[in-house]
Structure 1
Amino acid sequence: MALPRGMVIADAWSQLSDAVAPLSNSSGRPLARTVKLILDPLVLRPVQNPRFAGSAVDIEHVDDLRTRIREAGPVLAATAAWYQLVKRTRRKAGVTDGNPQDLYFQRCFELAHLHGTPDQATAAAELAAELVEDVRSSRGNKTVEQLRGYITDPGNVPELNQLLGAAWRTDRRIIDGRADLDARSEFLAVCATAPDSEMFHRLTAHRVGTHEANELTGDGVARDHGLSRHRRVAPPRLGDRASKTRLPPPFDRSILERAFASFTAVFHRESMADIPALIRQEIHRSAGAWQLAEEPSRVAMVLGRDATADLTDPGPAMARGDARARLRSRWQRQAYVHRVLRLPDRAAPGLPEDLRTDVRHPRRAYLRRLWVRLHGREMRGESVTADAIWDLLDGVLRSVIMDQRDRLKDTLGRGR
């Protein structure tokens, strides 16, 4: 027997004092960034403690997980106190760029370990000011405003438009590469339990990802994959504005929106190229197969497409270790999926059409999110290896499920 990991964490968190409120949401649960930036890497450490790594925790390990969080209570409370002080210091310094949680959560955890609470520290105000300045200076010129400023600078626009036109004037039909359908199927059959590096190398060497991008030139194919709203994919614009809450599907994004989407993850920024090089790389990437630059990324898109082709179809049984069977089982276990599918339109007039469509055609939402993750990896210079494929495929589906479940709960909750 096992319990959902999120539920166990939330229950353990609820036993902590009100001092951790700055790290909590309005429901008293830990913020998503608290889990991602503090609890997982610094408290639970699932890489070192695999019993805490899955989406569910076996019943014999539940008390251990709760104990870990309970024992970390004092340092978490001190982290929250430092975070409040650092935010006030940041406002006084006039710093507005970047998400404070991304910027300071882990650094505040360090301060809590070294000094306890701010009240216990000598010169806490000076330490907070040093932290704000250190983070600001370490980021150099890589700010969102500088990114926008570079791509909209009238002195740069003609050259960038010329580069964009040249990249998209090439014949985009790919004639080389091999489909290797059997090899793709064989790799998916083992990647969750015993990833075969030689087989993945074969898929990459045969340019399977590039070859399979041929279909995206077909009428409506990119739209059916959830990667565009249009029947035909067109070259992107340079763009002059971007908002994380209103980003279009991947193939419809401007160059600015493509760079902006990954650039706003502040703690990854320093691993990226400088802004002029980053924009030029993005222009060339936009004209590539799957609008990605690296063949392993393109192969990963093909594997994700293959693995999610029949999420909604009971279909023939496959070996339990097969990635396709695992993903299909995870999707079909979601109660909210069946709830949405049973709802007639008149029963939930407030349900967004895009949510209803994504639940009925989950591969669209899945491939959008998979593309975003692979694109972000490329921008940060991170390679895709055989060992990483299953975590990537499974992690994307878990992310889609959590997002859709939260949106459904929110929508139906408002309708009561």
Structure 2
Amino acid sequence: MPPPSQPNGERRPRAMVIDHAWRGLGPLAQSLSGPGGAPLTRTVKLIVLPLIVRPALRPELSADFLGPEQAARLDELIRESGTRLAATAQWFTLLKRTRRALGIVAGNPQDLYFQRCFELATEHGAPSAGADAMARAVVEDVADTADGRTVEALKSYLADAARRSRLDGELATAWESRPPAPAADPSAAVALAAEVLDACGAPDRTGNAPAYASMIEAGLGGLFGRALWEHANGAWGRDDLPTHLGLTVRQVPPRPEVGRGASTATLPAPLDRTLFERLFVVLQSSARREELPTVPELVGREARRSCAPLGLNDESLRVAVVLGGRLAVGLDPLGTGEHTPGRTAAHRAVNSRWRREASVLRARRMTVSPRPDPDGGVLDALAQDLRTPWAAYMRRLWVRLHGRDVRDAPLEDLASAWAVLDGVARSVMMDHRARVRSALRTLSAAPAPAAGPRSA
């Protein structure tokens, strides 16, 4: 039967089904949950989807929206795994305690240990006699495996003055030897991108679309990136947007520097990042660092990549930037109809999904209301973000494509390209929803202003 609260026949977001089933487990998996009781993002990404749901074996559960039968099956899978998840949480607590005792600080414990803890829970159940020794062995093994693939190793590698000087010279030489910008108008690539995005809304989009293959074969992604080096404008049919769509805050991308540090709170626009900042994001977000090259090889590859068009080596990933830009400039979550040239099937799919969001509906009312924002501007600022959704979309898309480039994972067909483009749109939408909810919780928890004196 469908999970509670799901009307018969209604499709529900898979994320909502997971959240509902997880909360039904109670406090048993507390260390895998957030403060509100929902599963952590990494819990879903590293444990629930790949190890419990296993979409490759259960393709009916791979969709973002599930019918009643599929939702019930997903709910059942998670609840059946309750005991194992409780044991996973206990192992994670033990591994973190062991990590502290050994003085290990490199890496995010969730990225490093979540899947190993699930394996331990599956094989041994909850920690019992001998668990301390087993936990120590796992922590030391993970530390050895990730050796040479940490932010600390990157910082140490780039601290050497002679090495920094050599890398700076290599970057300068690579930047000066870039191929010249093409004479062709980058809007030609954008026009073909519209055809590809229209194919994304077709039932048979699982194969290669001729236009998508043509864009890759013609090197239109690289041509587009080279055009950005010459301050090309007007490619998107909108005079109010730069062609780079916020991938840099400059008129043209600057020559990359080596860099000395990075912070997630202050990362520049993607094409303005230093070598250190580019690799910092890769190392911070990698769940399986053992699959990455060691730091010296990572740095050498990134030095060459950072001077390539759009900061990417693979042509299919560059084409995805062009497709993403064409999609991004037509995103219209508020339904204002402003500045939305040439809607495609992909635009209709993403915009219709976004406009159903409760947070968007509230934001739409706020942006057209003549009354001042009663909450001091918090929600109004979030509403304004929906007027420029392309900014967050392009930044997140580039980071995802860059991660694939580091791992030599091209987008070989239209289905894989659309999965990334649509996935980024969903990610931006979910992030905005979370920010609205957080703002509402903060506002509801704030004490009401004291009543002023009443006049007779």
Contact 1:307 1:327 in 2 (8 A): no
Take 2:329 and 2:207, find their aligned partners in 1: how far apart are those partners? 20
Letter in 1 for 2:403: G
Greater share of helix residues, 1 or 2? 1
Give the structure 2 partner of residue 53 of structure 1: 62
| 1:172 Cα deviation from its structure 2 partner | 5.7
**More displaced stretch, 137-146 vs 335-344:** 335-344
What is the root-mean-square deviation of aligned Cα atoms in Å? 2.6
Give the 3 Å change call, closer, same or farther, for CA 333–72 of structure 1 in structure 2. Answer: same
Q: How many residues align?
A: 412
Residue number among 206, 215, 222 corresponding to 2:218 in the alignment = 206
Instruction: Confirm or deny: 8 A CA contact 1:272 1:381 kept in the other structure.
Output: no
For 2:223, give the aligned amino acid. Answer: H
| Closer/same/farther in 2, CA of residues 225 and 114 from structure 1, 3 Å limit | same
Task: Show the 5 A alignment for 1:288-307.
Answer: 288-307=308-327
Equivalent in the alignment of 1:142:
149
Per mean C-alpha deviation after superposition, the further-off stretch among 155-164 and 276-285 is 276-285
Give the structure 2 partner of residue 11 of structure 1. 20
- Give the fraction of aligned pairs with identical amino acids, expressed as a percent: 37
Task: Give SS of 1:165's match.
Answer: helix
Task: Please name the residue that 1:236 is paired with.
Answer: 256
Matched, 1:381 2:408: yes
- The TM-score normalised by the length of structure 1 is 0.91
Aligned partners of 1:98 and 1:266 also within 8 Å? no
Contact 2:363 2:379 survives alignment (8 Å): no
Letter aligned with residue 61 of structure 2: F
Q: Which moved more, 1:61-70 or 1:296-305?
A: 61-70
Structure 2 CA distance, aligned partners of 1:251 and 1:108?
A: 37
Secondary structure, aligned partner of 1:241: coil
Q: Which amino acid aligns with 1:47?
A: A
The offset of 1:142, in angstroms, is 1.8
Partner of 1:272: 292
Q: For 1:224 and 1:346, locate their aligned partners in 2 and report how far apart those are by CA, in whole Å.
A: 33
Asked whether the 8 Å contact 2:373–2:380 carries over to 1, the reply is no
CA distance in 2, matches of 1:353, 1:377: 35
Q: Distance in 1 between matches of 2:353 and 2:227?
A: 28
Map of 1:407 onto structure 2: 435
Change (3 A) 1:349 1:306: same
Q: Offset at 1:407? A: 1.3
- Residue type matched to 1:379 in 2? V
Report Cα offsets for 1:307-327 as digits up to 9, x if no partner: 2331216569977xx323222
> Within 5 A, what are the aligned runs for 1:214-229?
214-216=226-228, 217-218=230-231, 225-229=245-249
- 2:388 equivalent in structure 1: 361
Structure 1: gaps of 5 or more residues: none
Looking at structure 1, the residues matched to 342 and 283 of structure 2 have their Cα atoms a distance apart, in angstroms, of: 42
* CA-CA distance at 1:197 after TM superposition: 5.5
Distance 1:6 1:181 in 2: 33
Of 66, 73, 76, which aligns to 2:82? 73
| 378-387 or 397-406, which deviates more | 378-387
Cα separation, partners in 2 of 1:204 and 1:251, compared to 1, 3 Å: same
- Match of 1:340? 363
